[in-house]
Amino acid sequence: MTEPAPPRLAVVIPCYNEAPNVAPMVARLDAALAGIAWEAIFVDDDSPDGTAARAKAIAARDSRVRCIRRIGRRGLASACVEGILSTAAPFVAVIDGDLQHDETILPRMLAALESGAAEIAVGSRNVEGGEMGEGLSPVRRLVSNAGAALANAALPVKVADPMSGFFALPRELFEEMAPRLTATGFKILLDILLSAGRPLQVAEIPYTFRAREAGESKLDATVLLEFAGLLADKALGGIVPLRFMAFALVGGIGVLVHLAVLGLLHGVGPVGFGAAQWAATLVAMTANFLLNNRITYRDRKLRGPRLLRGLVLFYVVCGIGAVANVGIAGLLVRDGVAGWGVAGAAGAALTVVWNYAVSSTLVWRP
């Protein structure tokens, strides 16, 4: 028996709730990649619509198709990374699973890499021959253009469509930089371009962004926040964990919430200072918990009964943090090590680190 030729191109397809698009995707790849040994890797985050089951049903009869089903995790960028790292093919491409990207340019992308003309081939809507098409609403188009301008300010090479999620590169180049990737949010291409450690030679290949036929976009306000986070992470050279920055930011919002409630209850209202402080603390902690669940730990989001358990645990963690804060600041002042301002700041800083460390390991367990 002869073995089938090993794949030359692995096409990684991040999917969340794309069940109706799976079979058409495979059919389109089959047509577009005739004459090229390819494999398709669907990376699904346990979509409730049964995307993984659809992909596996095809994989069961077509050895070119594989499916990675991830449980308890979410994230477009991390799904792409995991899919790419799972292949041995010399070239890898990433394409959206909703048929919005034009798979017919994949052979040209591969050719650009194989000829050595480029180190990374990008499907581009913003070069001659490319089109935004009907894929983006006017508002999304505006956001996308603003993002592209911002991204180009950070990039060592100019890329007309840095927000593209459609690209191909040699696997070894990716593997080499993989440990440096931020791998959060939607902008995996930008992450790659910023993590290479040197300006990559980019070839942009035009295509028209299609309208989505089935399913819906997963882009929301938090994705935009993640975009800002990615740029911040790269600007800081990855020294401060992105998650910590988000946690600290949420903590800052919590302080504002606390002061607002205190002002409302005690300043404006008739509630005594002590009682108002307790109420403000409780409201601020709850707000912080919900914000962290939505933003900081978005990829490990707690739901249902685990949400309540997490909230209670968060109260306990923050409670201990607060006691430590007050205690340390008190000691510093008593021993004359620091004035009240410095002592207060030191106590608060220590508390943030404590809250973050314990939250990351106990409340939102990896």
Q: Which span sits near Mn ion by CB under 5 A: 93-101, 108-116, 288-296, 353-361?
A: 93-101
Q: What's the full length of the chain, in residues? A: 366
100 or 182: whose CB is closer to Mn ion?
100
163 binds, among ligand GDD, Mn ion, none (CB under 5 to 8 A by kind): ligand GDD
C-alpha to C-alpha distance for 149 and 162, rounded to whole angstroms: 9
232 binds, among Mn ion, ligand GDD, none (CB under 5 to 8 A by kind): none
CA distances to 6, 69, 291, 305 from 308, rounded to whole Å, are: 49, 27, 14, 5
Q: Give me the least distance between CB of 98 and ligand GDD, in Å please.
A: 5
Q: Give me the least distance between CB of 333 and ligand GDD, in Å please.
A: 47
Q: Which span sits near Mn ion by CB under 5 A: 36-44, 99-107, 257-265, 305-313?
A: 99-107
Q: Which of 39, 45, 82, 98 binds Mn ion (CB under 5 A)?
A: 98
Q: Give me the least distance between CB of 223 and Mn ion, in Å please.
A: 12
43 or 200: whose CB is closer to ligand GDD?
43
Residue 233: burial class (beta carbons within 10 Å; 0-12, 13-18, 19+): buried
Residues in CB range of 81: below 8 A, 6 or more apart: 178, 181, 183, 188
182 binds Mn ion per the rule CB under 5 A: no
Answer whether 42's CB lies under 8 Å from 81's CB. Answer: no
87 or 100: whose CB is closer to Mn ion?
100
82 binds, among ligand GDD, Mn ion, none (CB under 5 to 8 A by kind): none
318 binds, among ligand GDD, Mn ion, none (CB under 5 to 8 A by kind): none
130 or 321: whose CB is closer to ligand GDD?
130
103 binds, among Mn ion, ligand GDD, none (CB under 5 to 8 A by kind): none
Q: Give me the least distance between CB of 133 and Mn ion, in Å please.
A: 12
Answer whether 50's CB lies under 8 Å from 121's CB. Answer: no
77 or 113: whose CB is closer to ligand GDD?
77
Q: What is the DSSP letter of 359?
A: I
* Interface size with Mn ion, residues (CB under 5 A): 2
CA distances to 28, 52, 253, 259 from 266, rounded to whole Å, are: 65, 54, 20, 10
C-alpha to C-alpha distance for 279 and 261, rounded to whole angstroms: 8
Footprint on this chain of ligand GDD (rule: CB under 6 A):
14-16, 18, 43-45, 74-76, 79, 96-98, 100, 136, 144, 163-165, 186, 217-219
44 binds, among Mn ion, ligand GDD, none (CB under 5 to 8 A by kind): ligand GDD
208 or 217: whose CB is closer to ligand GDD?
217
Token pair, residue 205, equals 């290949």
Q: Give me the least distance between CB of 164 and ligand GDD, in Å please.
A: 6
Around Cβ 212, how many Cβ atoms within 10 Å? Answer: 16
Q: Which of 51, 100, 126, 359 binds Mn ion (CB under 5 A)?
A: 100
Residues in CB range of 147: below 8 A, 6 or more apart: 162, 163, 227
DSSP calls for 85-147: HT---SEEEE--TTS-S-GGGHHHHHHHHHTTS-SEEEEESSSTT-B-TTSS-HHHHHHHHHH
Distance of CA 225 to the CA centre of its chain: 10
214 or 282: whose CB is closer to ligand GDD?
214
C-alpha to C-alpha distance for 244 and 229, rounded to whole angstroms: 11
Q: Give me the least distance between CB of 346 and ligand GDD, in Å please.
A: 39
21 or 182: whose CB is closer to Mn ion?
21
Binding site for Mn ion (CB under 5 A): 98, 100
